[in-house]
Amino acid sequence: MKRVILGILALILAMSLSANEINNTSSQPSKSEQIGKLREQVEANKKKLIGVFGKFTTDKIEPDIWEEECKNGSSEACKNLAVYYNDIKLDLQKGFEYYKLSCHNGNGEACTLIGTMQMQSGVELDKTLAFENFKKACDNNYALGCSLVGDSYMTGIGTKQDSKKAIEHYKMACEKGDFGGCQSIGELYINGIGVEQDIQKGLKYLEMSCDGKNYATCVTIGFIYASGLNGLAPDYKKTHEYFDKACKGGFDSGCHDLGLLYIDGIGVEKNDLVALNYFKNACANGFKPSCDFLELYYGVNFK
């Protein structure tokens, strides 16, 4: 029965993890296919970034004061003006120009935002300029900017594809505190993309990402321990530990996967009631696979 559940786990893994995560070595896609999937994931992630930084750095709205401070070189004041014109005056062009000024004055966050806008849409679509702005952000010690430089090098979007430079920038991002960067380099080592495959080194970076509350990577680690991909016998207790960490962090996929473990007692004592509660809670949070599983396994619609 454990083999059946592990088959389910493998299926869930294929459905729930991102395209650049663990793949079965017997059906490993070509490097060009993997890079193509990375491109799709990177583009999707950048769309989510637009608007993330649209916040004032102060409680008072003082455009006249910000104007003077911005002229005197304050990157923070320029950024506040950008938010003011974007969100209050609805003047996207003027807001964009102030973001550029903020970036020019050394605000890595602003550089990252305008780079993201240049990658996707808005007042200035230019992926090469976007890459340059991500580099400025990274040079100004903004960790996310380093991750985005890594994405650009890895996928060849906005610059020439260069796996070595991608890895360098993911490492920089991780060291500066962007746990998405830790995740990216961990996945590259796990899959052997741009580097020689090294499961243990990949695990090290994924664990850093998980410890940084990037809970999707906690689930990934759980599957690695379940599969024995790390060169050891499957360790279901470790699988449970990492799924549990993800679930407690509010990542519904982790709760769902815990439910699967309890269904057949993998790494834990079998307990259908505990499993049911995990599925119900994840479903209540809108996690569709749990809702579907409740109906399939328990025969009741909990939606």
Whether residue 50 has pLDDT greater than 70? no
- The pLDDT score that the predictor gives to residue 118 is 86
Per residue in 242-301, pLDDT (tens digit) is 999 999 999 999 999 999 999 989 989 999 999 999 999 999 999 999 999 998 887 766
**CA–CA distance, 248 with 37 (Å, rounded to integer):** 30
**Higher per-residue pLDDT: 280 or 33:** 280
- What single-letter DSSP state applies at residue 298? I
* Percentage of the chain exceeding pLDDT 90: 53
Per residue in 161-216, pLDDT (tens digit) is 999 999 999 999 999 999 999 999 999 999 888 889 998 999 999 999 999 999 99
The SS3 call for residue 230 is coil
* Mean pLDDT over each residue of the chain, to the nearest integer: 81
pLDDT band at 12 (very low <50, low <70, confident <90, very high): very low
- The pLDDT score that the predictor gives to residue 10 is 38
**Higher per-residue pLDDT: 275 or 6:** 275
Per residue in 126-167, pLDDT (tens digit) is 899 999 999 999 999 999 999 999 999 999 999 999 999 999
Task: Extract the tokens encoding 243.
Answer: 């799924």
Whether residue 93 has pLDDT greater than 90? no
Q: Within the chain, what is the greatest distance between any pair of CA atoms?
A: 70
- The pLDDT score that the predictor gives to residue 57 is 63
- The pLDDT score that the predictor gives to residue 262 is 95
Residues 6+ apart with CB under 8 A from 69: 76, 77
User: How many CB atoms lie under 10 A from the CB of residue 2?
Assistant: 12
**Higher per-residue pLDDT: 229 or 130:** 130
Task: Extract the tokens encoding 49.
Answer: 């970034």
Burial (CB < 10 A; 0-12, 13-18, 19+), residue 219, is: buried
Residues 6+ apart with CB under 8 A from 182: 170, 173, 174, 205, 206, 208, 209, 212, 214, 217
Task: Extract the tokens encoding 113.
Answer: 């935002």
- The pLDDT score that the predictor gives to residue 285 is 94
- The CATH architecture that domain 50-175 belongs to is Alpha Horseshoe (1.25)
pTM of the model: 0.73
